[in-house]
Structure 1
Amino acid sequence: MDYLDVRRVPDAVTVQLEDSWVSLLQHGEERWQQQGIEVLTEFREGQQAISLSAPGMAVLRVALRWRQPVSSRLRFLGDHWDRGYGDLEWRGLVPERLLPWYFLTFNGQETHGYGVKTGARAICFWQVDASGVTLWLDVRNGGAGVELGERVLPVAEIVSREGRSGESAFQAARAFCSQLCERPVLPKQPVYGSNNWYYAYGNSSHREILADTKLLAELAPNQENRPYMVIDDGWQLCSLSSYNGGPWRQGNYLFPDMGRLAGEMREMGVRPGIWMRPLLTLEKVPAEWILKVEHRSQNNVGLVLDPSQPAVLEHVQEDICCLHDWGFELIKHDFSTYDLFGRWGFQMGAQLTEPGWHFADRSRTSAEIILSFYRAIAEASADSVIIGCNTIGHLSAGLFELQRTGDDTSGREWERTRFMGINTLAFRMPQHNTFFAADADCVGLTNQIPWELNQRWLDLLARSGTPLFVSAAPDAVGPAQREALIQAFTLAAQERIPAEPLDWLDTTCPASWQLDGQTTQYDWYEANGVRLY
């Protein structure tokens, strides 16, 4: 059966302080203590709740270890810190491999799941070796230890699921993700439409957005579920080639009246959407609002705000309220994981960020501060749909309706779309409608991408049941493209059975998919094979 039993009390609990490691001693069934540190491993309704107290100390991590033989025949699938980077895959036993948040095992017949529930107060990852399983609970505050004082921290809740006879690995993964997130927040209707980024790349205007809106309205026949037209980066007051932050309460000279633009878009029959980067600004703000580290903004332009400060959260909420009050019905917020940690997800590793720095409020973990930040955005959005991009899915689940689950696709290089988009669609599909609506990113419909490849990507997204966004360059939309887009938007506007990647156990780029009960094969490769981009 090969089930790894993490439902039982761990065999060892270790705590990492800023200057030492402390091995805790077990007292009774669920209590671990040493040097004033206490960890509780309490069983509640089939899950194990972990809590930590460490008065007067700065704690970095807690490690729980279950010793047991692990079969070499197992294959493993993990998640990612934030979004996928084309690197999600089933693999054999790799002891040093980090498995963020949860992992699945497959023995050829059953698929078992192990993880922490969404909304944890730590940033968590697993490791599995031939001798057992380790769960790391990163409770740091930035790159330094958290100072809890007298507070008891509810760190995480551990959940596992034994696979069932007859279910596929994909079905087991979806069922397990449903256990990890008990109360997802989902959009009221399927989300689809256009986003101007992958053909405009920031070069746009009020007039050009209205032209995009007109085209979208013509191509989307469903009158009960109208599409979204999302204005991406380039509209804001300080939009430069080297800077894409705020302020966010005024457009630039090409976007003179954002409220009027949203109204005109709505009159044309689409739902207005907009992009923003909430934690980067050129505004003159109080010094205590600024994150006191050197590695933050790209090209060292702009100030990164510290969301551990209540005044900063109020400021971000006012920005979100402004976008909502202009009339934008979808708000996409971006870059916050990079702005906070100074690294992209594929660079984070076990360290997550540079050591030594901390938020202004050292009494809370990074995960707690991020949760408060996400919650503030969700509350301020009112009835606007929120999509997080470069956000941490395991912390945004239950707060945001949509999540961009992978790194950028492209309107310039097909290979980037193949590598990033198809991988994240397949391997984050278990989270679709169990955590949030999972957006694998856009179809970059331009003359630089072969239409026959984009047509396949468009077809898969439209039939997958996930959000569909298309960046359609006006000069790339001929009769064939118009017909395909009308069909795709018609499909995407309706509720669909989530697509299942049938060959995901054997490849990082699934070609065989079950769509609406039928098997469909796709060829994802250019005539000369994989290109470097």
Structure 2
Amino acid sequence: MKTELELPAFAMAETADGWTKLSPAGRGRWQGDGIEVEIASRDKQLEIYIQPTVKPFLTLKLFWNWDYEYSDRWVLLGDQWERGFGDLEWRGIAPERTMPWYFLAHNGKTTLGYGVKTGANALCYWQANQEQIVLTADLRCGSEGVVLGQRQLHAATIVHFAESLDRTAFSCAQDFCSTMCERPLMPPYPVYGGNNWYYAYGKSSHEAILNDSRFIASLVPEEETNRPFMVIDDGWQLTSGDGQAWGGPWVGNSRFPDMRRLAEEMKGIGVRPGIWFRPLVTAEYVPESWRRYRGPEGHVLDPSIPEVLSFIGDNVRKMTDWGYELLKHDYSTFDLTGKWGFQMKSQPNALPYSFQDRSRTTAEIVTSLYRTIADASGESLVIGCNTIGHLAAGLFEIQRTGDDTSGKSWERTRFMGVNTLAFRMPQHGTFFSHDADCVGITTQVPWELNGQWLKLLAASGTPLFVSVDPAIVNEEQKQELRRAFAVAAKPMPSAEPLDWLATTSPNRWVLNGKEERFSWHNDSLDVHRYRDAEWWK
């Protein structure tokens, strides 16, 4: 079995003049249409370099022959551009399927992995058919090709994984994710607590947050030194739109008159304050040169401009100076590309604008935005939501890895939450801390099902956030929340989905070394079995 990925069989490039097949120009070198690409083999990895060029370069495609005998037993698992949308799964080979960043292939005994390392300078995705594996590196600067000039670009580092021993596909996936990320960043303690979004949906106030904080603190013994968070979601900022996720200016509104005092009062109650923000949008006056375009929510800023990054960094430092120990950074992928992750596929960008700095790729500009936020956050944690995990790894401690769960629909929580938790779990501890989103506890979501989601999240080793209206919680739910927080406050091994090769919503899991079963559907629910489960006591 080959453990080293060979050089591509051939390469193609897209410039402003269209597509061209590049011609070999020596080992690991291809040329054509004013473009030169070098691929260097080092330490069983392939380094992709784009040589200096004044020609706008849009896309590079590399092709390998499929070295393993094709059969209908191969199933593939790809990643997503940003969050999962209930669409992560092992499935047979579909040539049109776009698999951002990496994919794994499994045939019952062998697990293969093909990917690029985190922090790439191009937006990369894979495709596979019965004969070939194709890597596409999107080198655009927004809607236009990058103009490198005299600069050489290290576009990406390709890594390969091959395993045929008696190991599970999940274990191999964890190892492969470790290979892709050399410097993962994790919180210094388990993260858990509350978030007000899935019952308040943007309609909140200073006093409501204090009431939420009292409730969350009441679920944790005073002697617990790892205190829970209470995260203020959208709705606190001056132009909040009552839950419309509008942007800055990042100052409080009439219901939130003093954000510094609120943070201090939350700490006095016994919770760690957290806060939501949308860094690239503001309704306040900014210089015309800072604006990339005007959206319905305000001015969308261009993060390729140094002054814009300084402006964003100042806002981040302001919130941490107020005392907020966790920042939830949201919406930036949509603001940068005009698409949600499930829409991006092989065309990540929908906006008809380039960035002002044409010499850098979209991936480079995104990473510089993330680095600015990470540096300005200081000791406060950052959750990236609607951010690109492969570029945020090593910069943000926590990544929201799936689209929103719900306080209104159990089916949405099952579809988004359970799927995300299972299929992004190999990234937990290898890229960042993997947040599959909240447990929204309301009267609209059956507790018999939601209580299981709470227990799975709590024992998964990943962050646990609950969104709950204190006024509707009964005594049974309070007891279950206390148990969940007691588990989530301590380090736990990563959960493993045992049936993820066969379903998109696994119900068999290994939690803290023991196999446990869940039922995500009303018609097969045995409530007492979960309430009395030994692992939960």
Per the normalisation by structure 1, the TM-score is 0.96
Q: Any conservation in 2 of the 1:501–1:510 contact (CA below 8 Å)? A: yes
How many Å separate the matches in 1 of 2:369 and 2:484? Answer: 35
Q: Residue 200 of structure 2 corresponds to which residue in structure 1?
A: 200
The 2-side partners of 1:522 and 1:355 are apart by: 42
Match for 1:316 among 287, 312, 315? 312
Give the match's secondary structure for 2:30: strand
Secondary structure in 1 matching 2:309: helix
Q: C-alpha separation between the residues in 2 aligned to 1:423 and 1:476?
A: 28
| Residue 473 of structure 1 pairs with residue 474 of structure 2 | no
Distance 1:39 1:233 in 2: 45
How many positions carry a matched residue from both structures?
522
Gapped regions of structure 2 (runs ≥ 5) = 526-537
| CA drift at 1:303 | 1.1
Alignment-derived partner of residue 489 in structure 2: 493
Q: Which residue identity is paired with 2:289?
A: E
Q: Which residue of 2 aligns with 1:171?
A: 171
**Alignment correspondent of 1:37:** 35
Partner amino acid, structure 1, of 2:383:
I
Contact 1:233 1:244 in 2 (8 A): yes
Deviation at 1:311, TM superposition (A): 0.5
C-alpha distance in 1 between matches for 2:287 and 2:4: 47
Q: CA deviation at 1:56?
A: 1.7
Question: How many Å apart are 1:442 and its aligned residue?
Answer: 0.1
Over the aligned positions, Cα root-mean-square deviation in angstroms equals: 1.5
**Aligned-residue offset at 1:354:** 2.3
Deviation at 1:180? Answer: 0.4
Percent of aligned pairs with the same amino acid: 53
CA distance in 1, matches of 2:66, 2:413: 41
- 1:68 maps to a residue whose letter is W
Task: Describe how 1:273-288 pairs up with structure 2 within 5 A.
Answer: 273-288=274-289
Task: Note if contact 1:243-1:302 (Cα within 8 Å) is conserved in structure 2.
Answer: no
After TM superposition, the score normalised by the length of structure 2 is 0.95
Give the corresponding residue for 2:65.
67
Q: Which amino acid aligns with 1:126?
A: W
Do residues 26 (structure 1) and 24 (structure 2) align?
yes
Does residue 511 in structure 1 map to residue 507 in structure 2? yes
One-letter amino acid of the counterpart of residue 22, structure 1: T
The 8 Å contact of residues 248 and 278 in structure 2, kept in 1 or not, is answered as no
Are 1:266 and 2:232 an aligned pair? no
Structure 1 residue 306 corresponds to structure 2 residue 302? yes
Moved more, 436-445 or 140-149: 140-149
Aligned to 2:457: 461
Q: What's the secondary structure of 2:476's corresponding residue?
A: helix
Q: How do 1:320-339 and structure 2 match up within 5 A? A: 320-339=316-335
In terms of mean alpha carbon deviation, does 170-179 or 348-357 score higher? 348-357
Equivalent positions of 1:310-459 (< 5 A) are: 310-354=306-350, 356-459=352-455
Q: In 2, Cα distance between the equivalents of 1:506 and 1:160?
A: 24
CA spacing shift, 1:450–1:516, aligned 2, 3 Å: same
Once residues 96 and 34 of structure 2 are traced to their aligned partners in structure 1, the CA distance between those partners, rounded to angstroms, is 31
The CA distance in 2 between the partners of 1:22 and 1:285, in whole Å, is 42
Query: Take 1:247 and 1:128, find their aligned partners in 2: how far apart are those partners?
Result: 43
Distance 1:478 1:355 in 2: 48
SS of equivalent to 2:266: helix
Q: 2:7 aligns with which of 1, 6, 9?
A: 9
Aligned-residue offset at 1:247 = 2.3
Distance 1:475 1:527, change over 3 A: farther
Judging changes above 3 Å, is the alpha-carbon distance between structure 1 residues 495 and 275 closer, same or farther for their aligned structure 2 residues? same
180-189 or 353-362, which deviates more = 353-362
1:56 and 2:54 matched: yes
Separation in 2, partners of 1:245, 1:381: 21
Please give the per-residue CA displacement for 1:460-504, whole angstroms capped at 9, x wherever unaligned: 000000000000111221110110000000000111110000000
Which amino acid is the alignment partner of residue 371 of structure 1?
Answer: T
1:243 deviates by 4.3
1:524 aligns with 2:525: no
Q: Distance in 1 between matches of 2:282 and 2:345?
A: 27
Alpha-carbon shift at residue 301 of structure 1 (Å): 2.9
- Maintained 8 Å contact 1:238/1:245: yes
Conservation of the 8 A alpha-carbon contact between 2:461 and 2:495 = yes
User: Secondary structure of the equivalent of 1:438?
Assistant: strand
Q: Secondary structure at the match of 2:140?
A: coil
CA–CA separation in structure 1 for the residues paired with 2:524 and 2:170? 32
Please give the per-residue CA displacement for 1:139-180, whole angstroms capped at 9, x wherever unaligned.
101111111111110000000111141211111100110110
Q: Which amino acid aligns with 1:281?
A: T
Letter in 2 for 1:264: E
1:37-78 superposed Cα distances (whole Å, 9 cap, x missing partner): 111100111211001125121111101101235513211000
Alignment match, 2:534 = none
Determine the C-alpha separation between the residues in 1 that align with 2:178 and 2:191: 21
- Equivalent position amino acid for 2:362 in 1: S
Whether 2:251 is the aligned partner of 1:250: answer: yes
1:93 aligns with 2:102: no
CA contact (8 A) 1:248 1:276 kept: no
